[in-house]
Structure 1
């Protein structure tokens, strides 16, 4: 249980500091539509993450035949996570948002629209889908309780960080320079590599499935 919690914290930390298109959208919605608009967008993103996590874990549990290859599946997933970390560390291109922000009038009926925009923006991102499915595969050997602890911890941390971005939008935006994003990407890469190695060690030496 403690191991699952630590892994959840580790993975959540990586996602909290990662920089992608979602963070720019969070800032844009927060500045354009106020805190309520930003929160609606963040909740949509969070709902998308929860849906993908549940589906990706369910996918690995549905087919009994997969159980026979739990170790192999976990090893492949761990290696993919480490490879993703290497990509973040050395190859990920730096993107910044230069578009100006214009304040618009926020209406209550726009809550659903903004929520759905966050949900679909996150759900249709191939990188997000790949990340959660690979992570689910890498944790295939863990018990259901440990999976719940790991993913719940991670998702709560990410939601809390995104909500913080909503209220700190005015301060965060000027700091998203190319240099800072490059540094954050490298840190994210190192964390992903460490997470992949930790999962691989656990599969091979702590709780292998025969």
Structure 2
């Protein structure tokens, strides 16, 4: 149970980590303009937002699934969203690059750090794609956890805790590699990364769909 939960958490964290969206550009911009301190403050805001969204999505998913009949509906809805997100990343997602090449760093006050923290929190929290992602993921993990009764709650906690820690670690590494990452974010490279993440989303969604349809929820 422990090994399966950790692997599932790492897989979800990897999907988040390699996705190229507005947050990664904000991390790079904060790191370059405000140094490592600004980048880390921004990431703490994003991480706090993810943690809150995970708690809320799991809470509401659990409420809706308590009727029994809605469990498969939630599972199917989550899998279809992941597949749709995968196709969007693979075929439709546009490459966005930053325009400003050189930004002078400034010395941050405590107020600046708090402001950057909340900018990361709000950017992530108000992103509909992030909310839908966590709803879909919560639904899929809820279904997978049924394989590990009576340790369902422990399984879900380990999955999401592993995911959040792994994602946070990846984001921290982006802060310290901001310059190198920025130089490699060409439209062509972003297109490749979007396609890779799209394939991962599709595989994850199809695996969940197959497990629900056959009644053998995939746990690995």
**Stretch moving more, 66-75 or 145-154:** 66-75
Q: Deviations over 1:2-51 (max 9, x none)?
A: 33322221111111111111111111111111111110100000000000
Q: Among 124, 129, 134, which residue is 2:136 paired with?
A: 134
For the pair 1:150 / 2:152, whether they are aligned, the reply is no
1:55 to 1:14, Cα distance in 2 relative to 1, 3 A: same
For the pair 1:35 / 2:41, whether they are aligned, the reply is no
Alignment partner, residue 181 of structure 2:
172
User: TM-score, structure 2 length as denominator?
Assistant: 0.88
Note the aligned Cα RMSD (angstroms): 1.7
SS at match of 1:104: coil
Alignment map for 1:1-210 (pairs within 5 Å): 1=1, 2-63=3-64, 65-100=66-101, 101-141=103-143, 142=145, 143-203=152-212, 204-207=214-217
In structure 1, runs of 5+ residues without a counterpart are none
Supply the distance in 2 between the matched residues of 1:200 and 1:9 (Cα, whole angstroms): 20
Q: Deviations over 1:152-197 (max 9, x none)?
A: 1111111000000111111111100000000000000011111112
1:158 to 1:85, Cα distance in 2 relative to 1, 3 A: same
Give 1:206 deviation, angstroms: 2.2
Report if the CA contact (8 A) 1:139-1:199 is conserved.
Answer: no
1:28 to 1:66, Cα distance in 2 relative to 1, 3 A: farther
**Stretch moving more, 117-126 or 72-81:** 72-81
Report if the CA contact (8 A) 2:82-2:136 is conserved.
Answer: yes
